[in-house]
Amino acid sequence: MHYQTESWNSYLPTKSPTTDSLQLIQRLAAENAVVIFSKSTCCMCHAIKRLFSGMGVNATVYELDEDPREKEMEKALIRLLGSSSAVPVVFIGGKLVGAMDRVMASHINGTLVPLLKEAGAIWL
């Protein structure tokens, strides 16, 4: 698991903030096999990080509360998920998996591991 600490201000385009953020999120999500958007104070995020590390997955984590663009990122994630809490959100292989419940459900029904393998996040 490694954490992105660099500022993202260099990515600032000129269009509306939420669209920017959505694009940013999608871009960041595509850069690594497993990407988790989180907050350092969020306990459910801690749980989801533990789930992946317990499976031997090296996920890339972005802590929103350590970034100046937290508010816009939050709004974009809420729009994306259609839920009231922005974090945690998981992308695998650049594609949106969802929040904790979706991740857990896919682990239980056996679709998570194949997805991880396909993205190169784990090897048997």
Partner 1 sequence: MNSTSTQFVPSRRMGLCEPMPQVGMWNDYKENNCLHTSLPVLEVDTRFDNQSEDTSHGTVGPSNKYDQEDSKPVDKVMRRLAQNREAARKCRLRKKAYVQQLENSKLRLMQLEQELERARHQGSYIGGGLDTGQLGYSGTTNPGIATFEMEYGHWVEEQNKKIADLRNALYSDIGDVELGMFVDGGMRHYFDLFAMKATAARADVFYLMSGTWKTSAEHFLSWIGGFRPSELLKVLMPHLEPLTEQRRLELSNLRQSCQQAEDALSQGLEKLHQILSETVADGQLGEGNYLPQISAAMEKLEDMVRFVGQADYLRQETLLQISRNLTTRQTARGLLALGEYFQRLRALSSLWASRPRGSA
CA 48 – CA 37 distance, rounded (Å): 10
- Alpha-helical runs (H) found in the chain: 17-31, 43-54, 70-81, 100-108, 112-118
Binding of partner 1 at residue 105 (CB under 8 A)? Answer: yes
Binding of partner 1 at residue 78 (CB under 8 A)? Answer: no
Select from 16-24, 35-43, 65-73, 74-82 the region that touches partner 1 (CB under 8 A).
35-43
Q: Total number of residues binding partner 1 (CB under 8 A)? A: 20
Among 50, 71, 79, 95, indicate the residue that binds partner 1 (CB under 8 A). Answer: 50
- Cα 2–Cα 31–Cα 12 angle in degrees, nearest 5: 100
- Least separation in angstroms between CB 48 and partner 1: 7
> Which phi and psi (to 5°) does residue 95 adopt?
-105, 145
Residues near partner 1 (CB under 8 A)? 41-44, 46-48, 50-51, 54-55, 85, 100-101, 104-105, 107-110
